Amino acid sequence: MTVLKKQVRIALRNCGVIDPEQIEDAIACDAYFALGKCLTTYSPDEVISEIKTSGLRGRGGGGFPTGLKWEITKNVESDQKYVVCNADEGDPGAFMDRSILEGDPHSVLEAMAICGYCIGANTGLIYIRAEYPLAIQRLKIAIKQAEEYGLLGDDILGSGFDFKIEMRYGAGAFVCGEETALIHSMEGLRGEPTVKPPFPSVSGYLGKPTNVNNVETFANIPVIINKGAKWFSRIGTEKSKGTKVFALAGKINNVGLIEVPMGTTLREVVYEIGGGIVNGKKFKSVQTGGPSGGCLTKDFLDTPIDYDNLVAAGSMMGSGGMIVMDEDDCMVSIAKFYLEFTLEESCGKCNPCRIGNKRLHEILTKITEGNGTVEDIERLKELSDVIKDTSLCGLGQSSPNPVLSTIANFEDEYMAHVKEGKCPAGQCKSLLRYDIVEDLCTGCTLCFRNCPVGAITGERRLPHFIDQSLCIKCGVCFEKCKFDAITLT
């Protein structure tokens, strides 16, 4: 029961409860009630003030105060404005937004309409990844049903307020989650970021003021209107209000989506909700913030999770991916993994990100192959700082975080690679060596029959040998041998 006890469901309130393809279900759970309340009893300023009081901050990664963003967009004069829902969800290993869109699409549509009412926009656009076909289908159904009920479209609930919502599709580019890139992508261009300012609130889609919010941010809005800002702001910590949805994955027993109040500790998440580490292994690290974030050690297990604490710990909230790692994970390889992602996803527009990350990756590869030096670690730090300071957009500015945080928290592992030529986690293949101990080998031929590349030779009942030049270090022989005759060094 601890799995549920520690959780508070706001953004996920209706997921798994209602049939997302039946608007009647959603309405029975108060959908569009908040929109009605806003249109009939509150002025846009009153709604914005309520959102500001609630303390809600953007759930897309940056943590910008949502009420303030709405106010800024409202105050820009323009004949046309847009509300954009960022459903690009590019963080690999995270699926919070997808679950909300598939489980409760109306909560997002309703919030977009409320936002439109506040800032003075009549058009909403949902930018969603093409990789999410079910979410796309459910959104389309939801939009159609809401229009039939007069909850979207012209003259909503007889209030004179018009709001329509259209869909735009991503095409597999992580950087398009960045708001300026997202806007260019919606305009049919390459999704390359541009310098801010101007912020989208001032000049966004087709040059018009555009309010961009994340899916989960929107999903919180109706609840805040219905239950009140005071109720909402009682949940969480001083500067981070409400809850956060995390996608808990990796070496943890209970994998899946969780929603916890801000301020919950990592220990509660990992051990109480997550049920601890798979196979009783030792906890090593939690990665938050995806490719922009960092790895936290066991020293942070009792730190309350909120925006500011995570940044202070060298990571960030990000969109909510939370990957648990155990003693078998090599932190140098993890840093390299994230950089591979960055390299693939960098749009290439500016040099520090395009070239600098390539160099970082080369150095990390060198280290994982056993050719690194102590100076290389210094070089990694220096280069990381330059990339952070000089990149144009958030992708480049945060891309060295996985490197810096793993060096800061697991320097001994880096040192073991460069000084002793060893990978303590036993993951860097170039640094591994499988050998057969002659005295222990019974010549059962099991390893010989299972080696995928034929690297093992030997006669039945006689000791076997591994040809190191052929061995691809797959570890199959090591697992198969029943006599513990194979060593891994």
Ligand X SMILES: Cc1cc2nc3c(=O)[nH]c(=O)nc-3n(C[C@H](O)[C@H](O)[C@H](O)COP(=O)(O)O)c2cc1C
Q: Footprint of ligand X on this chain (CB under 6 A)?
A: 58-62, 64, 86, 88-90, 175, 177-179, 212-214, 217, 319, 393-395
Question: Does 3 engage in binding with other proteins (CB under 8 A)?
Answer: no
Q: Which is nearer to other proteins, 334 or 481 (CB)?
A: 334
The backbone torsions φ and ψ at residue 86, rounded to the nearest 5 degrees and listed phi first, read -85, 100
Question: Does 384 engage in binding with ligand SF4 (CB under 6 A)?
Answer: no
Classify residue 389 by burial, with Cβ atoms within 10 Å: 0-12, 13-18, 19+. Answer: exposed
Residue 251 contacts which entry, ligand X, other proteins, ligand FES, none (Cβ below 5-8 A, type-dependent): other proteins
Question: Does 428 engage in binding with ligand SF4 (CB under 6 A)?
Answer: no
Tell me which DSSP letter residue 301 carries.
T
Site residues for ligand SF4, window 310-369 (CB under 6 A)? 346-350, 353-354
**Of the candidates 3, 43, 93, 348, which one interacts with ligand FES according to CB under 6 A?**
93
- DSSP code per residue over 418-479: HHS---TTS--GGG--EEE-TTT-----HHHHH-TT--EE--TTS--EE-TTT-----HHHH
Question: Does 455 engage in binding with other proteins (CB under 8 A)?
Answer: no
Site residues for other proteins, window 423-452 (CB under 8 A)? 452
Write the single-letter amino acid at 437: V
Write the single-letter amino acid at 92: P
Least Å from the CB of residue 143 to other proteins: 16
Question: Does 69 engage in binding with ligand SF4 (CB under 6 A)?
Answer: no
Residue 486 contacts which entry, ligand SF4, ligand FES, other proteins, none (Cβ below 5-8 A, type-dependent): ligand SF4
Degrees, nearest 5: CA angle 36-40-43: 110
Residue 293 contacts which entry, other proteins, ligand FES, ligand SF4, none (Cβ below 5-8 A, type-dependent): none
CA distance 428 to 328: 11
User: H/E element holding 179?
Assistant: helix 179-186
**Of the candidates 183, 260, 305, 436, which one interacts with ligand SF4 according to CB under 6 A?**
436
Tell me which DSSP letter residue 281 carries.
P
- Among the listed ranges 117-125, 305-313, 336-344, 392-400, the one in contact with other proteins (CB under 8 A) is 336-344
Least Å from the CB of residue 57 to other proteins: 24
The backbone torsions φ and ψ at residue 262, rounded to the nearest 5 degrees and listed phi first, read -55, 140
**Of the candidates 84, 219, 317, 392, which one interacts with ligand SF4 according to CB under 6 A?**
392
**Of the candidates 107, 185, 210, 384, which one interacts with other proteins according to CB under 8 A?**
185
Q: Cβ atoms within 10 A of the Cβ of 197, count?
A: 8
Q: Which is nearer to ligand X, 108 or 156 (CB)?
A: 108
Cβ contact 176:170 at 8 Å: yes
Question: Does 476 engage in binding with ligand SF4 (CB under 6 A)?
Answer: yes
Residue 228 contacts which entry, ligand SF4, ligand X, other proteins, none (Cβ below 5-8 A, type-dependent): none
Question: Does 16 engage in binding with ligand FES (CB under 6 A)?
Answer: no
Question: Does 172 engage in binding with ligand FES (CB under 6 A)?
Answer: no
Q: Cβ atoms within 10 A of the Cβ of 79, count?
A: 6
- Among the listed ranges 22-30, 272-280, 290-298, 465-473, the one in contact with ligand SF4 (CB under 6 A) is 465-473
Under the phi-then-psi rule, with left for phi > 0, alpha for psi from -120 to 50, and beta for the rest, what region is 12?
Answer: alpha
Site residues for other proteins, window 128-147 (CB under 8 A)? 130-132
Question: Does 236 engage in binding with other proteins (CB under 8 A)?
Answer: no
Residue with tokens 């806003």: 38
Question: Does 454 engage in binding with other proteins (CB under 8 A)?
Answer: no
Among 6, 23, 2, CA closest to 14: 23
Least Å from the CB of residue 171 to other proteins: 3
Classify residue 157 by burial, with Cβ atoms within 10 Å: 0-12, 13-18, 19+. Answer: middle
Q: Which is nearer to ligand X, 393 or 485 (CB)?
A: 393
User: H/E element holding 296?
Assistant: strand 294-296
Q: What is the chain's percent helix, strand, coil content, to nearest 5?
A: 45, 15, 40
Strands (E), 95-242: 123-128, 164-169, 210-214
Residues forming the site for ligand FES (CB under 6 A): 92-93
Residues forming the site for other proteins (CB under 8 A): 90-95, 98-99, 130-132, 168-174, 185, 187-192, 247, 249-251, 255-256, 287, 290, 321, 323, 325, 329, 334, 337-338, 341, 344, 347, 452, 472, 474, 476
